[in-house]
Amino acid sequence: MRVLMFGWEFPPHITGGLGTACFGLTKGLVKHGIDVIFVVPKAFGDETKDGFRLVNASEVVLDFHQQESREFWQKIQYMEIGSNLVPYLDPEEFERITSQEVRTGEDVRRTIFSQRYTFSGKYGPNLMEEVSRYALVASSLAQKNTFDVIHAHDWLTYPAGIAAKEISGKPLVVHVHATEFDRSGEHVNQAVYDIEQKGMTEADLVITVSNLTRQIVIERYGIDPEKVITVHNAVEPVDHPEMEGVHKHVKEKIVTFLGRVTYQKGPDYFVEAAYKVLQRDSNVRFVMAGSGDLLNRMIRRVAQLKISTKFHFTGFLAGQEVDTMFAMSDVYVMPSVSEPFGISPLEAMRSNVPVVISKQSGVAEVLQHALKVDFWDIDALADAIYGILHYDALRRTFVRYGKAEVDNLKWENAAINVIEVYNKAVYK
């Protein structure tokens, strides 16, 4: 079976768990003999390609002499990007970018018919323009390639998946890694919501990364429960012998938050819990690794609480930097307000780090050896952190059994479930 797969990012150029999940799943599918054509807006040339074809959309030539392409463009609606669609920039950076000239719909229409378009592959003020152009590239690829099923990851690629389906007539599977309700709470961006709902409606089947997300898809988007299937995420089993020699260079124990510093991830609850823990034990350091629109607010709050000497902001970490951070950590905390899944706790447990996670996360559905608290319960969060730091038997239990538990959550196992979805879509 051959799959035409659309993603928005791919390791090592990632901004969060989406690219990591796409890579792991693709490798898992290849292990089971699935032929994957993976398309990204922009490839940098250093991506790891193990047994599959990586297509750089920026190198695809569009032929607008073809009637299909002209007809598809008529169906594309250009939408202006809003501020809450840029979750990876702090307010100052966003203001700098958006103060630059913003193209009008007329500009897009005039320039979009260039034979080749170079994508940034980033999340910036022209994001919606790139989403639309990406759909045009998808229609071209669907005409030129042979495949059995289309797989589109997250809302950024849903228009591309729909375009490929319209051109080829092949079944479409959309993969919901997060919804607009996860990213924005109740203050959803209507344009993004509409794209999400359109993609799920047009899809033959919908994959959600957790039952939590499945319920959101059914209840908030009105999707038929019969076509929504949960396939939990997984983690790459790796050994890092070089990490054994990593030194903390500080005498205190280290508690780590690693993720986007945005509303969804609950960084403010981490800061407040840190303050409570430090009132009971000053021999602890807290690390917030990541970037996002709440970063400056978190820095100011840490200063207000007068815990700056015990709190560190590293900025965005990737690759071996993440492994190094876990190697220095004594506890990993994920206090997400709404987390469709959450791969980072699996990565921490893989590195023998005990974890505290919110009950409002999809990963809580598959983990037994993790402490689970409500994201809003700062006292419970602080107690959980303090308990792991001070009760060695508890820590050893979570380290021992947690590592064994995560080692069984492999992408090649998740891929089997995805292949079942493909077969259902193709042969239904």
* Judgement on whether residues 87 and 218 belong to the same structural domain of the protein: yes
* Judgement on whether residues 271 and 300 belong to the same structural domain of the protein: yes
Tokens standing for residue 30: 């290849």
CATH code for position 261: 3.40.50.2000
Amino acid at 336: S
Give the whole-angstrom CA distance, residue 383 versus residue 273: 9
Q: What is the pLDDT of residue 46?
A: 58
C-alpha to C-alpha distances, 57 to 41, 47, 78, 164, 285, nearest whole angstrom: 5, 14, 19, 14, 44
Mean pLDDT of the chain: 83
For residues 187 and 155, is the Cβ–Cβ distance under 8 A? no
Q: What is the pLDDT of residue 81?
A: 30
- Look at residue 102 and tell me whether its pLDDT is greater than 60: no
- Look at residue 96 and tell me whether its pLDDT is greater than 80: no
The confidence band for 20, taking pLDDT boundaries of 50, 70 and 90, is: confident
* Judgement on whether residues 220 and 257 belong to the same structural domain of the protein: no
Radius of gyration of the chain (CA): 22
Q: What is the pLDDT of residue 237?
A: 73
Q: Which helix (H) or strand (E) holds 259?
A: none
* Judgement on whether residues 186 and 321 belong to the same structural domain of the protein: no
More confident residue, 378 or 111: 378
* Judgement on whether residues 44 and 177 belong to the same structural domain of the protein: yes
How many alpha carbons lie under 13 Å from residue 5 in its C-beta half-sphere?
26
Q: What is the pLDDT of residue 62?
A: 59
Tokens standing for residue 303: 């200063």
* Judgement on whether residues 288 and 323 belong to the same structural domain of the protein: yes
Q: What is the pLDDT of residue 388?
A: 97
The confidence band for 53, taking pLDDT boundaries of 50, 70 and 90, is: confident
**pLDDT by residue (tens digit) across 72-89?**
444 433 333 333 333 333
For residues 24 and 350, is the Cβ–Cβ distance under 8 A? no
For the segment 415-427, the average pLDDT, to the nearest whole number, is 97
Q: Output the CA torsion sign for 52, 42, 209, 410.
A: positive
**pLDDT by residue (tens digit) across 376-420?**
999 999 999 999 999 999 999 999 999 889 988 999 999 999 999
Give the whole-angstrom CA distance, residue 335 versus residue 294: 15
Q: What is the pLDDT of residue 10?
A: 75
* Judgement on whether residues 151 and 255 belong to the same structural domain of the protein: no
* Judgement on whether residues 173 and 60 belong to the same structural domain of the protein: yes
**pLDDT by residue (tens digit) across 214-255?**
999 999 999 999 999 999 999 887 665 555 667 777 899 999
Q: 319: domain range?
A: 241-407
Q: What is the pLDDT of residue 125?
A: 62
Q: Output the CA torsion sign for 64, 67, 69, 73.
A: positive
* Judgement on whether residues 226 and 289 belong to the same structural domain of the protein: no
Number of domains in the chain: 2
* Judgement on whether residues 367 and 221 belong to the same structural domain of the protein: no
Rounded percentage of the chain residues whose pLDDT exceeds 70: 79
* Judgement on whether residues 286 and 377 belong to the same structural domain of the protein: yes
* CB environment 239-272: b (16+ within 10 A), e (fewer): eeeeeeeeeeeeeebbbbbbbbbbbbbbbbbbbb
Considering 35-49, 227-241, 306-320, 376-390, the range whose residues carry the highest mean pLDDT is 376-390
For the segment 164-186, the average pLDDT, to the nearest whole number, is 92
* Judgement on whether residues 388 and 333 belong to the same structural domain of the protein: yes
Rounded percentage of the chain residues whose pLDDT exceeds 90: 56
Q: What is the pLDDT of residue 41?
A: 82
For residues 389 and 273, is the Cβ–Cβ distance under 8 A? no
The confidence band for 92, taking pLDDT boundaries of 50, 70 and 90, is: very low
Give the whole-angstrom CA distance, residue 100 versus residue 98: 5
